[in-house]
Structure 1
Amino acid sequence: MTFKLTRRSLMAAMPAMASVGMLAGCGGGDDAAAVSAEDAALKFDASTYTTVNVTLDGVALKLRQYRRVYVAKPVKMATTLTTFNTTTLADPYAMQTMVISVAEALVNDQTKPIYMVVNNAGWFASPVSTTVTEGAAFVSTSDTDAMGAALKAGYVVVNLGTRSRGARAEDGRWAGKAPAPVVDTKAAIRYLRLNDSLLPGSTSRIILTGTSGGGGLTSAVAASGNSADFLPYLAEIGAAGVSGSGSTATSTLKDDVFAAVAYCPINNLGNADAGYEWEYNATRTDSNTGALNSVAYSAGPQVAASTAIAASFPAYLNGLGLTREDGSALSDANLRDATMALVKKEIEAQIAKGTAVPALGANFSVSGVAYLNDWLTLAGTGTSATVASIDYAKYLAFVTKIRALKTVVAFDAVGVTGNPNISGESTLFGSDYYSYSNFTAWSWANNAVKGDGSGVDDTALAWDAYLASSTSKLATQLKLINPMAYLNTTADTAPYWYVRHGMIDRDTAFAMQTLLYYAIKKDASVKEVDFKYPYLVPHSGNYDVQEAFTWIKAKLAANP
């Protein structure tokens, strides 16, 4: 792939590009006319669609499928970079495109809920894709077929493409940096709202869902409904209903959602490393933590890094002002107890359903492999048994025997502790003209790569000074992708939340998910949060489709 501009020429072009942006923002009347023209260009044309034939529970079902670019000024993209490879895009606008699928019999029904799916695993960019394809077979009663359940319920299914980390524009810019995935998802919601009278389905009944990075994206969007913080970014891409530019941008449309269904949400990235090391520092060994640059965990810089990063977590946690059910402050002294209480609740629910939970000294079976239960003590027998105690340290060791921990640093990994790879979420942050930026204080201070534009070594600025500098957008990026920054604020947070993080999922700390739960629970806009650590479930999503869709149905029924 040959780009139009090199990094050097892009940097040289920045002042001119900034001047163009400043000129384009002048003149309120012109802006109003522009947004009207953009909204007109985004008007939904119901006559342009593809007919897709599938089977649902063995019965033929004819669908109409609409593929639409959902912004008036889409960014022309060239490639997407994942951990393993670079892919050239056949459609340069696939990252700002949605695919809408609806049963042909329901194309004129504007009461049905909209089931909107984001696919940003690892917070990577996601060119639009859908499993609703010609000849596909769906089973509505399956616990792993969310599309089947959605189609059976008569929902309008929207699969969404978004920019995010690893996305490179045709002009060479890394155009998927935060807050791009949140902005794109909000723009898609606004496109649906603009065309509410023309589209099937009801935009007052949007259920947003995703897994892993997609779960984090779902959480960020659902928490920050209608926040004005995003309007300048929405204006840049020609999102429906947005006029003006920069701090003067205004909106006539909304981007809040009815419900969030988030699986293992990788969220609160600015504090995720601190939470991870606080959770696992005492558990780490050479057997559960990989080597970096052929240097074993115990022999290299990972040990000291883990200890230093973990030390920063209590102050963050204790400053959140969250409370437990009994009204006591949630703190570093009792957060593990809060997590254990949630794990205990899930295990006892499983026992009551007849699940065979092993006694102390017996074995759990995970994917056909036996793991000793040395952490869970039960009282009583049969379906009336209860959890007598949980040894939390041994529980964490159990989790890390099933799957090794991420190396240190887990999320802000690039350029530190001898990590030779572009790994972790560092590529989500920083300037469009560098592939990554460290986004936490420890990694910033310890960046060891010269010329990457990141760290004290390249900027001569300490972390706090860099965050406050006019050349940095990190502070804004970190806020705009973090649900914790918008929960318990004036944002129109989704009233209903269904959040799951597996009981043996080590992809982010249990601490981060317990914090998210209590923050959602505290928010006055939230009517219900259904949170669980599902029994023996690893990092995954859509494993409980029947339970999730029963919950969705009940919330919709309560809000006709």
Structure 2
Amino acid sequence: MGVGAAAGAVAGGGFALSAHASGSAGSKPSGGAGSLVFDKDGFTELTTTITTDDGDKEVTYHFYKAVTYVARPVDEKYQSLNVSVPVEIDGQPVNASGAPILLANSVGGYMPSSVADATGVGGGGMGGGMPPGGGGASPSPGAPAAGGTGEVPSGGNGQLDDAGKRVSNAELALAAGFVVVEPGARGRTLTDAEGTYYGTAPAAIVDLKAAVRYVRFNKSRIPGDTDRIVTSGTSAGGALSALLGASGDSPLYAEYLEEIGAADASDAVFASGDWCPIADLEHADMAYEWNWGANELSGGGLVDRTVSKELATAFADYQASLKLRAKGFGSLTARNLDDYLLETYLRPSATAYLKGLPESDRSAYLAANPFITWSGGRATFTWDGFLQHVGARKKNTPAFDAFDLSSGENNLFGTGTTQARHFTLYSLRHEKGGSARLDPDLGEKLKLMNPMHHIVKERNPGRSRHWWIRVGTKDSDTSLTVVANLAASLEQLGDDVDAYYYWDQGHGANTDAAGFIAWIAEVTGHDRKKENGGSGR
């Protein structure tokens, strides 16, 4: 693929760019391992202005577009990645040879994600509505959409700050002098000419692992520290980022990676950044009803109370099976999980939010929200008061394994020419009867798609040891317990976990993006490298 953007081209993020072609595009695998060698000269030089908390920064960088990262691609449109390497920031040269590498995926709704049309950093996005991919393949027009969830792509396009403005981890990382890799991945709606689905589970995580392997395989050819790869993603992309962090070098994926010709390298990542992850799918219906079962649906009306109660009751057994413990609470069970969420996340988040307001605004907020008691500079409230404050829930019941197979997650577990399948016994037996059994392949695929399996069941030694996990307190795309259990399970293993709930924020919120960039520098030791005269500005 040729390169060479005209001066004045506009990046996906809306930033003005100047471009200078240099060499040819990155490597295009067609067979063996030699085809996975990254072409160091295959870049376009671009300049963009990125707004940061420290002001606008003019960044000149080398942009490698749509580099295929496997030797036997199923669909190059999605199995390719972009690489952005900073070379100058505000007129000062940058040596990014030892910088952290941010691997920012743009998956939303478990839909296909392509970087092929991006014109600069942060330009990746969902491919579900894009033109047909290679070989006549396209997202199936009859496939379920994002499950009615409001799923948003992450990376370049889908995160919002506290003012509701777009924020891009990829752009901020580039402005900090990091190398940015933005991988595409197959998604659940893709079908070939015969109507066979080729992007359903576990295609997305297999592709992202292959992208990590490609970067590792090209150590010293791709600038940056390949031992300091940090992932990021939001929503379904957040779940996949968590899964990358949890499942590093797991042998469970070996045959899938071999099938597409992934590089012979490690797919473990150093750190994982996960926003509002739509994860733990086989238990998500139970968790959702435990959390949001009392809330009315958006638009009014209650869900089926019998179904909601049955699922919430089943959640108690699942929560107990995790055998999680927390200081001051002992075992985390369905009986004390609400108190744990209140004390660990919700009340501290509300307190921080209110302390950050001017006194007049704080008084007005408290007057409008009398469920909060403000005393001694601390916010307190009950679980029921919090649920009433959040208001309408986003999803009906079951929220994920829909009885009518209409959810995006039903499509995620489709196979062959079958568009959607049940993946929980509860929903399957509700529709087919008490003796029905899940298809034999689903047990493995659920493990491949669930970070909790690798953390709780496997205690995977190849997992990340550093975690940045975020969700909004008003995010009812999934249960708030998903983040709490993910964080608690990692803390129980001794990992470094920075988890936080954004007060009054919804799905896709990222109100401390600058903090994430600073956290990357801290946990990777990049700040210390710069202080000691190493790579960096």
What range describes the TM-score normalised by the shorter chain of this pair?
0.7 to 0.9
Question: Pick from 211, 221, 227: which aligns with 2:244?
Answer: 221
Segments of 5+ residues of structure 1 without an aligned counterpart are 1-34, 77-92, 242-252, 365-370, 417-421, 448-455
Partner of 2:46: 52
Cα distance change, pair 328–201 in 1 and its aligned pair in 2 (3 A): same
- How do residues 117-516 of structure 1 correspond to structure 2 at under 5 angstroms? 117-128=104-115, 133=120, 144-241=167-264, 253-281=265-293, 283-285=294-296, 288-289=297-298, 297=302, 302-326=304-328, 328-341=330-343, 342-354=345-357, 363=365, 372-380=368-376, 385-387=377-379, 389-401=380-392, 404-413=393-402, 415=404, 422-447=406-431, 456=432, 462-463=436-437, 466=438, 472-488=440-456, 489-516=459-486
**What one-letter code is carried by the residue in structure 1 that aligns with 2:448?**
L
Checking the alignment, whether the CA contact within 8 Å between 1:426 and 1:437 is kept in structure 2 is: yes
Q: 1:346: how far off? A: 1.8
Q: Do residues 530 (structure 1) and 504 (structure 2) align? A: no
Could you list the per-position Cα deviations for residues 104-154 of structure 1 after superposition, in whole angstroms to 9, with x for gaps in the alignment? 45897421111111111122221226866399999xx99934333211211
Q: 1:551: how far off? A: 1.4
CA distance in 2 between partners of 1:444 and 1:429 (Å): 13
CA distance in 2 between partners of 1:407 and 1:391 (Å): 24
Cα distance change, pair 197–501 in 1 and its aligned pair in 2 (3 A): same
Q: 1:304: how far off? A: 2.0
Checking the alignment, whether the CA contact within 8 Å between 1:50 and 1:64 is kept in structure 2 is: yes
Cα distance change, pair 521–538 in 1 and its aligned pair in 2 (3 A): same
Corresponding residue SS for 2:81: strand
Could you list the per-position Cα deviations for residues 25-50 of structure 1 after superposition, in whole angstroms to 9, with x for gaps in the alignment? xxxxxxxxxx9962112111222233
Checking the alignment, whether the CA contact within 8 Å between 2:473 and 2:505 is kept in structure 1 is: yes
Q: Do residues 63 (structure 1) and 62 (structure 2) align? A: yes
Partner of 1:368: none
**What one-letter code is carried by the residue in structure 1 that aligns with 2:451?**
P
Query: How large is the Cα RMSD of the aligned pairs?
Result: 3.0
CA distance in 2 between partners of 1:263 and 1:394 (Å): 25
Checking the alignment, whether the CA contact within 8 Å between 2:248 and 2:460 is kept in structure 1 is: no
Checking the alignment, whether the CA contact within 8 Å between 2:80 and 2:185 is kept in structure 1 is: yes
**What one-letter code is carried by the residue in structure 2 that aligns with 1:202?**
D
Could you list the per-position Cα deviations for residues 386-418 of structure 1 after superposition, in whole angstroms to 9, with x for gaps in the alignment? 12x3121121121124xx4311121112516xx
Q: Figure out how many residues of one structure are paired with residues of the other and give that number.
A: 450
CA distance in 2 between partners of 1:210 and 1:462 (Å): 36
Checking the alignment, whether the CA contact within 8 Å between 1:143 and 1:545 is kept in structure 2 is: no
Partner of 2:518: 550
Could you list the per-position Cα deviations for residues 429-450 of structure 1 after superposition, in whole angstroms to 9, with x for gaps in the alignment? 1422201111112211123xxx
Corresponding residue SS for 1:312: helix
CA distance in 2 between partners of 1:107 and 1:395 (Å): 47
Corresponding residue SS for 2:348: helix
Could you list the per-position Cα deviations for residues 303-345 of structure 1 after superposition, in whole angstroms to 9, with x for gaps in the alignment? 3221222221000000111101237111111111111011112
**What one-letter code is carried by the residue in structure 2 that aligns with 1:125?**
P
Partner of 1:520: 490
Q: Do residues 111 (structure 1) and 103 (structure 2) align? A: no
Q: 1:490: how far off? A: 3.0
Cα distance change, pair 41–94 in 1 and its aligned pair in 2 (3 A): same
> Quick one: percent identity of the two aligned structures?
31
Checking the alignment, whether the CA contact within 8 Å between 2:86 and 2:96 is kept in structure 1 is: no
Checking the alignment, whether the CA contact within 8 Å between 1:414 and 1:423 is kept in structure 2 is: no
Checking the alignment, whether the CA contact within 8 Å between 2:63 and 2:85 is kept in structure 1 is: yes
Corresponding residue SS for 1:345: helix
CA distance in 2 between partners of 1:423 and 1:484 (Å): 22
CA distance in 2 between partners of 1:504 and 1:131 (Å): 32
Corresponding residue SS for 2:462: coil
Cα distance change, pair 132–377 in 1 and its aligned pair in 2 (3 A): farther
Checking the alignment, whether the CA contact within 8 Å between 2:285 and 2:311 is kept in structure 1 is: yes
Corresponding residue SS for 2:32: helix
CA distance in 2 between partners of 1:354 and 1:131 (Å): 39
Q: 1:372: how far off? A: 4.0
Cα distance change, pair 277–135 in 1 and its aligned pair in 2 (3 A): closer
Corresponding residue SS for 1:95: coil
Cα distance change, pair 340–129 in 1 and its aligned pair in 2 (3 A): farther
CA distance in 2 between partners of 1:202 and 1:436 (Å): 40
Partner of 2:5: none
Checking the alignment, whether the CA contact within 8 Å between 1:190 and 1:255 is kept in structure 2 is: yes
CA distance in 2 between partners of 1:257 and 1:131 (Å): 25
CA distance in 2 between partners of 1:317 and 1:351 (Å): 32
Q: 1:521: how far off? A: 1.1
**What one-letter code is carried by the residue in structure 2 that aligns with 1:343?**
L
Corresponding residue SS for 2:331: coil
Q: 1:497: how far off? A: 0.5
Cα distance change, pair 475–135 in 1 and its aligned pair in 2 (3 A): closer
CA distance in 2 between partners of 1:475 and 1:52 (Å): 46
Q: 1:237: how far off? A: 0.8
